[in-house]
Structure 1
Amino acid sequence: MRRRIIVASVVAAVAAGVAVAPAAHAEGRGDIRVTKTVVNGGSNVIVGVQNVKRFLITMTIKDNSGVKGVADVSAFNATNGHGPVDHLGTTCKKVSTTTSVCTATMQIDPTWIDFYGSGNEGWDANSVAGTWQVNATVQANDRDYWISDRIALFKVKRAATLTTDATPEPVRKGGTLTVTGKLSRANWTDLKYHAFTKQVVKLQYKKPGGAYSTVKTATTDSKGHLRATVKATASGSWRWAFLGTTTTMKVVSTGDAVTVK
């Protein structure tokens, strides 16, 4: 029930043209401060189309009287204010008389993203991806408190898939090897993977026991397909590697081993 109440209030605000994200500020009383914030261990938060994604926001908090706790923590897109995320709770561990480390558990359910903004005309669930910010209100034992916006920035990205198929297998030495593949990414509107078009992807090769290196690049077509031809000179593995974007994860396909005879 709590989720439905949150959704209703946010959707109403968006529909009315009210900014969901508050203006950046920091205010309060006393010397309590968040001195360090780490989201998801420093990694991007990757969300697919089915599995719920949980991640941690870890805050180091200091006050001369000691830390009482975290009154509130939230996260949302720093540009448009969209934040279809649940705060599941926060725990704090005292590490000294003045310092505590508090960890908030957050959750993004991809099946909820589209519903979150369904009352907003022109709503695109995929606009949730991008740079997010963390806000928090912290409290001290001496009743000091601090309301801080943007104590951290992090990326929420759409999951992606990438395939590789090299043919023919085996191939004669000096012959032409054709390497194909497909790049797709999560779409949070219909909860399916769709072709990711017009993206530059690297074709990489490695000898047995060696390391991958880039041979050439190709661009995905209107169906997300990739195709490149190379001269077969030695046995080895081929793969496609996509560096990602600000809203879509980095992904590397499984290598396809080819024997040259």
Structure 2
Amino acid sequence: MRIRATVAAVSGALALSALAVPAAHAAGPSSYRADVAKVFQAAHAPSAAKAGISARVAGDEMPYDLDVTFSNLKVAKAVKVGTTSHVSTTITYTMKFGADVDVRAKDFFTGPFLYRGSYDMPQNELFGDLPATCSVTSATTANCKGKIDIYPADEELWNADAGTWRAGALAIAYNGQDPESRDFDITKVGFAEKGGLGTTLVQRNSKLTTSAKPKPVKKGKTVTVTGKLSRANWESGKYSGYSGQAVKLQFRKKGTTTYKTLKTVKTNSTGALKTTTKATVDGYYRFIFVGNTTTPAVNAAGDLVRVKK
């Protein structure tokens, strides 16, 4: 079960606990997240205290600042997320580290993350199931590649989460410390993080249909074109109609490859579309939606209507 963060209940540190670390370090996915959560919780304790949120950290113990920095992060412009299927997107970045940081250690981990809202108090976060893999290119530099894994069926997203997200990267050096041990000394653990390294859109995936009738139709007579624009509802786990959206009706003459826009219509309260046009020649009708920050563009398949004299 993945951890879902709410602003009212957890701090940014606790929210980041959904990150997974390698199997070599713990027994299972829940242990991965629990281990990382301890480090994040301690590192973010001051921010949590300022926000009036209990950090549940023993004393003022915190991990030390790890000599690691991040740059050159690249992330996809948009990530389309449906209602049930697992979705992943790759993020790459450069990691620079000091001479005292052993990035080849079995208990050193780095990975990307996405967050929505402010970095200190994010409204939601997304992580990868596994840490990034890195290629050391010099004594102080490594190129890293990691994934963000999204499971909409596991209630990781609310509909309000659709839109712009920011990207960041982190690194943790456990230095032989076992987070599951009673003797775990978090002051001996190194930690580094950086947010605001890039942006992407996490979008509610869209669907669009087109149906044109009658078939065939007499030349000069009316063709009625209907359809529906819907998008993923992350809270219900189904696709629901997208109301009040401008959608273009296009036509492509049979035997050609280019669609031309005939008119623009708006979806009704259930996402349905209905309009009419005059029949002239055999061809394909389709609706297209240009998209926005929360919902990706989508083109319906063309529906052929033959014209008879």
TM exceeds 0.5?
yes
Offset at residue 67 of structure 1 (A): 8.9
Which consecutive unaligned segments of at least 5 residues does structure 1 have? Answer: 118-124
Offset at residue 134 of structure 1 (A): 1.3
**Aligned CA distance change for structure 1 residues 168 and 95 (closer, same or farther; 3 Å):** farther
Offset at residue 35 of structure 1 (A): 3.1
| 2:230 corresponding residue in structure 1 | 184
Q: Secondary structure at the match of 2:160?
A: helix
State the distance in 2 between where 1:148 and 1:17 align.
20
CA displacement, residues 166-193 of structure 1 (integer Å, 9 cap, x when unaligned): 1111111111111111011111111111
| 1:129 corresponding residue in structure 2 | 162
State the distance in 2 between where 1:202 and 1:67 align.
56
| 1:202 corresponding residue in structure 2 | 248
Normalising by structure 2, we get a TM-score of 0.67
Q: Aligned-residue CA RMSD in angstroms?
A: 3.0
Give 1:71's match in structure 2, choosing from 110, 132, 150: 110
Q: Write the letter of the residue equivalent to 2:298.
A: V
- Give runs of aligned pairs for residues 71-220 of structure 1, distance below 5 A: 71-78=110-117, 81-83=122-124, 85-89=126-130, 90-95=132-137, 99-113=141-155, 125-138=158-171, 147-207=193-253, 208-220=255-267
> In the alignment, is the contact (CA less than 8 A) between 1:55 and 1:106 conserved in 2?
yes
| 1:259 corresponding residue in structure 2 | 306
Offset at residue 70 of structure 1 (A): 5.4
Q: Write the letter of the residue equivalent to 1:130.
A: G
Normalising by structure 1, we get a TM-score of 0.78
**Aligned CA distance change for structure 1 residues 152 and 67 (closer, same or farther; 3 Å):** farther
| 2:74 corresponding residue in structure 1 | 38
> In the alignment, is the contact (CA less than 8 A) between 1:171 and 1:260 conserved in 2?
yes
**Bigger radius of gyration:** 2
Aligned pair 1:248/2:298, yes or no? no
State the distance in 2 between where 1:240 and 1:247 align.
19
> In the alignment, is the contact (CA less than 8 A) between 2:112 and 2:127 conserved in 1?
no
State the distance in 2 between where 1:246 and 1:215 align.
25
Offset at residue 43 of structure 1 (A): 3.7
Offset at residue 231 of structure 1 (A): 1.1
| 1:120 corresponding residue in structure 2 | none
Aligned length: 236
Q: Write the letter of the residue equivalent to 1:245.
A: N
> In the alignment, is the contact (CA less than 8 A) between 2:111 and 2:146 conserved in 1?
no
Tell me: higher relative CO, structure 1 or 2? Use CA pairs within 8 A at least 6 residues apart: 1
Identity %: 36
Write 1 or 2 for the structure with the bigger share of strand: 1
Offset at residue 154 of structure 1 (A): 0.4
